[in-house]
Structure 1
Amino acid sequence: MMDADLLAEVRAFRQRYPDVRYVDLIALDIPGHFYGKRYPVEMLEKVAAGSALKLPQNSVLLGVQGGLFKIGDYCFNDGDPDALRRLVPGTLKPVTWEAQPLGQMLITTDGTEKPIVFEPRQVLAQVLDRLAAKGIHPVVAFELEFYLFDKKLRDGLPQFPRDDLSDDADDQPNMHIERLSRFSPVLDDMVAASQAQGIDTTVITAELGAGQYEINFGHLDDGLRAADWAALFCRSTRGVALKHGYRASFMAKPYLQHPGSGMHVHVSLYDAAGNNILAANQQRSLRHAVAGCLELLPHCMPIFAPNQNAYRRLGGTTNIATRASWGFEDRDACLRIPESDAKNLRIEHRLAGADANPYLVLAAILVGLEHGLESGSEPIAPLNENRSSGVDFPLEMLEAVRAMQHQPQLREGLGVEFVDVYCENKRQDHLAFMQEITAREYRWYL
């Protein structure tokens, strides 16, 4: 069916960017990588005018290295069927980091006749729809940490980024404004590229690690769009870094001796009249929401820490929780309650690694908040009252998958089929990762 607004968007884009011949139609798979197709821009206009847009259903199930795993009847017993996608309005934007003029646009199965129930964007969409039906409207902001590296690896290992002042030593002071100045050409271009995607980027911080930065986004009352921003930011940031002769990575723990990179998600909840639900009843609702999040957090670890490396970030260095915990103005807590007035009272979820899937991270957080509000349970003591307060969570993938797969609130909140598919994807990816004998293994055991 023709969408007049979409057609107008495509035609306006073609008029504004006449040199663009191709547009990448992209979506995020389960591991958090973009897949899709490069369409001639005139064919994109036909899709907006009503032509069907189809891609293989099982593209969503790709492993980290792009391979397919046998998951139930998917991939090898289903004939690899196509599934309808639709264009996401408002996401057709120029790509500024490629050598040739190019555009990109998000596609999704949510809102189609038969959505893929395990597509990450669809999973979040169904959670948001359910909350909206209950009169709950989230406002969300993502913060993403990442590292810059020198473009060339040394003996297969990443090196801190070098500018004209750098030598073989790391002379870039942590959290120092000078580092923002020394690398301003690439950082400024990253901000410009993300703004060209329609992303409201705000504060830039030089973080603790050598070459580590954080860029924050504005708050949005559209959870899908907030997750879109996080996904698109990762893509543009990597592209801009390569353009400037660097690598950018959202890997959760690239250096053992330096802090890892996190995905911090700020969430507040409002009713239809614009009242902050978390502030109601003298913040009793906040306590219930925190309790629900903490209860489900140990069962959500395959989402918050989606790969082997992500678990290296946990239980180690600065501002990283070792147990499910909460606290007021406490960066050692998984759930931090920043100081704010009643209108802006929110929860900052700090546990997820920067390479986690933003759609799934937000969906898991919202299911936890929903569960807490409905159960009315009280949380454990905050860290402000008891520094040892907390609930253990899994610290390796197979244990985490077992904890997730049969948790009833997650199966109901995220969808039974999604939970089963996701857990098997993570299990198979982990087993594939372990099928290599490293040099250290020979040193220790040969």
Structure 2
Amino acid sequence: MKSHSPALLAEVRTFRQLHPKVRYVDLIALDIPGHFYGKRYPIEMLEKIAAGSPLKLPQNAVLLGAQGGLFKIGDYCFNDGDPDANRRLVPGTLKPVSWESQPLGQMLITSDGTEAPIEFEPREVLAKVIERLHRKGIHPVVAFELEFYLFDKKLDNGLAQFARDPLSDDADDQPNLHIERLSRFSEVLDDMAQTAKDQGIDITVITAELGPGQFEINFGHLDDGLRAADWAALFCRSTRGVALKQGYRASFMAKPYLQFPGSGMHVHVSLYDGAGNNLLAAHQQQPLRHAVAGCLELLPHCMPIFSPNHNAFRRLGGTVNAATRACWGFEDRDACVRIPESDPRNLRIEHRLASADANPYLVLAAILAGLEHGLEIRQEPIAPLNEDRSSGTDFPVEMLDAVRAMQHHAVVRDKLGAEFVDVYCENKRQDHLAFQQEINAREYRWFL
């Protein structure tokens, strides 16, 4: 794929005409932990890049830990000279940033589609999975749903505080699903939704969730899995920015309160052939059962992707709709893999296990790899929860166990790439160990 084209150059020039006050554009990409990295470029340089000038950033920026530090992973970071790697602009993603104090633009960049893609870049991992499915005549249609919490902008000794109800100025500290909460927080929610739409994201349903200050926003279905993951990533960035502008903090942290529900990333996936037929619905839905079986088989070996940090594991087996075992069911929100009621045309799976702060590119790649594996091996799944409430297989519930289960699994290494699996697992292992290197107040209370 070329890093430039007349259409890309036209996109940049049109943007400059529509937004003449914008002087700088953030060129951004998602790293392994799911944070954006990149550089801020003058708009004139962006036009040169779109016209064909090279775009290079350090390869190892992808390897950053959760706190931004670098870990020694094989020969990367400290024995490789920290080389640059080519990136390209992602067409259609140049949009204005409205939550900053000064006019600004942003645009996604990626190594996928360049002459030497970075094997462990999350977007490249997903791109390879989708490309392989397309070669097999399988075309995914995807929709993400993301839950998040609003908090007060100010922390209390480093701890999050409940969001203030804008009508009463009281803390929104009561869990409920009342639609009135959408009205009370309408100003910030409307701003989030409109800003997402300005980024090209198809926002659909907005829900007040059970947790205090917790909401969910759904996106439209897309036949482009990469773009669907782009939407999820960009939504997180814009939502946090809008919240700060409005006097709140927004967080996709998996389990901010032990006593309240965590925040999940729910992914709807259906599979079609080249003629638009739903592959999961064929032969009395037998392919659906095979796909479910594949998802459940790989799920315990992809836990570092679905639960990417220490806090994310706290969400599992929580207060509501958070599974403790790999399981499935029809219209059952306690299941990791739910089959929503639908007509044969729209038959799909809803994968509900990932935490909201997981990397959307990697979550989708792992789900698609499981579906692909199931269609290949054609095995029957375990009983659904509708038939047996105890049905399910165990998965790791601690990071180091999860890393061990992922790193040497032959199918995961084959489907997601051995180099990526090794790099990712070591990144998670090092991040987890770094997280442990602090003695907190509770430890003194227990053991001093």
TM-score range, shorter chain: over 0.9
Q: Is the 8 A contact 2:176 2:209 kept in 1?
A: yes
2:127 aligns with 125
- Report the equivalent of 1:29: 31
Structure 1 pair 357/2, CA: closer, same or farther in 2 (3 Å)? closer
Q: Is the 8 A contact 2:26 2:39 kept in 1?
A: yes
Distance in 2 separating the partners of 1:173 and 1:380: 34
Aligned length: 446
How is 1:308-319 mapped onto 2 (pairs within 5 angstroms)?
308-319=310-321
Residue pairs, 1:203-282, within 5 angstroms: 203-282=205-284
Instruction: Specify the alignment match of 1:433 in structure 2.
Output: 435
Contact 1:7 1:48 in 2 (8 A): yes
Aligned to 1:401: 403
- Please name the residue that 1:15 is paired with: 17
Does the CA-based 8 Å contact 2:164-2:171 persist in structure 1? no
Find the aligned partners of 2:95 and 2:169 in 1 and give their Cα distance.
38
1:66 — aligned with what? 68
1:163 matches 2:179: no
TM-aligned CA distance change 1:246 to 1:322, over 3 Å: same
**Residue 186 of structure 1 corresponds to which residue in structure 2?**
188
Identity of aligned residues (%): 83
| SS of alignment partner, residue 289 of structure 1 | helix
1:329 equivalent to 2:334? Answer no
* Equivalent residue for 2:154, pick from 149, 152, 173: 152
State TM-score, norm by structure 1.
Answer: 0.99
Q: 1:2 to 1:147 in 2, by over 3 A?
A: closer
Aligned-residue offset at 1:166: 4.0
The whole-number CA distance in structure 1 between the counterparts of 2:287 and 2:175 is 42
Q: Which amino acid aligns with 2:281?
A: A
State the shift of 1:167 in Å: 5.3
> Are 1:71 and 1:424, in contact at CA under 8 Å, matched by a contact in 2?
yes
Deviations 1:352-392 (A, max 9, x none): 00000000000000000000000001100000000000000
Q: Would you say 1:45 and 2:23 are equivalent positions?
A: no
Aligned mates of 2:348, 2:162 — CA distance in 1: 35
The alpha carbon displacement at 1:171 in A equals 5.5
Q: Deviations over 1:95-130 (max 9, x none)?
A: 011110000000000000000000000000000000
One-letter amino acid of the structure 2 residue matched with residue 106 of structure 1? L
* AA at the equivalent of 1:259: P
How far is the alpha carbon of 1:288 from its aligned partner?
A: 0.2
Structure 1 SS opposite 2:155:
coil
Q: 2-side partners of 1:133 and 1:390: how far apart?
A: 33
Unmatched 5+ stretches in structure 1:
none
Partner of 2:118: 116
SS, match of residue 283 in structure 1: helix
Q: TM-score, normalised by structure 2?
A: 0.99
Cα distance in 2 for residues equivalent to 1:283 and 1:97 = 46
The AA in structure 2 aligned to 1:183 is F
Q: Determine helix, strand or coil for the equivalent of 1:260.
A: coil
Give 1:3 deviation, angstroms. Answer: 1.2
- 8 Å CA contact retained: 2:162, 2:173: no
Which 5+ residue runs of structure 2 have no aligned equivalent?
none
C-alpha distance in 2, partners of 1:278/1:204? 28
Any idea what SS the aligned residue of 1:30 has? coil
Which residue does 2:418 correspond to in 1?
416
Task: Please list, as runs of the form range in 1=range in 2, the aligned pairs for 1:274-293 lying within 5 A after superposition.
Answer: 274-293=276-295
- Please say if residues 206 and 212 of structure 1, whose CA atoms lie closer than 8 Å, have aligned partners that are also in contact: yes
Does the aligned pair in 2 maintain the 1:173–1:179 contact within 8 Å?
Answer: no
Structure 1 residue 94 and structure 2 residue 105: aligned?
no
Structure 1 segments of 4+ aligned residues over 6 angstroms from their partners: none
Change (3 A) 1:5 1:433: same
Corresponding residue SS for 2:211: coil
Whole-angstrom CA distance in 1 between matches of 2:21 and 2:150: 31
CA RMSD of aligned residues (A): 0.9
Counterparts in 2 of 1:161 and 1:358: CA distance versus 1, 3 Å? same
- What amino acid is the match of 2:79? N
Partners of 2:9 and 2:174 in 1: how far apart? 49
Amino acid at match of 2:310: Q
Structure 2 distance, partners of 1:67, 1:225, is 28
Q: What SS is found at the alignment partner of 2:56?
A: strand
Residue 195 of structure 2 aligns to a residue whose secondary structure is helix
Residue type of the partner of 1:445?
A: F
Q: Distance in 2 between matches of 1:167 and 1:236?
A: 25
SS of match in other structure, 1:145:
strand
SS in 2 for 1:273: coil
1:79 corresponds to 2:64 = no
Residue 59 of structure 1: how far off its partner (Å): 0.2
Q: Distance in 1 between matches of 2:344 and 2:363?
A: 25
Counterpart secondary structure, 2:87: strand
CA contact (8 A) 2:166 2:185 kept: no
Amino acid at match of 2:324: T
Question: Matched residues in 2 for 1:114 and 1:126: separation?
Answer: 13
Equivalent AA in structure 1 for residue 392 of structure 2: G
CA gap of 1:397–1:141, structure 2 versus 1, over 3 A, is: same
CA–CA distance in structure 1, aligned partners of residues 441 and 175 of structure 2: 33
1:2–1:395 distance in 2 versus 1, CA, 3 Å: closer
Compared CA separation, residues 169 and 90, structure 1 to 2 (3 A): closer
SS for the counterpart of 1:317 is coil
Match of 1:90, as an amino acid?
G
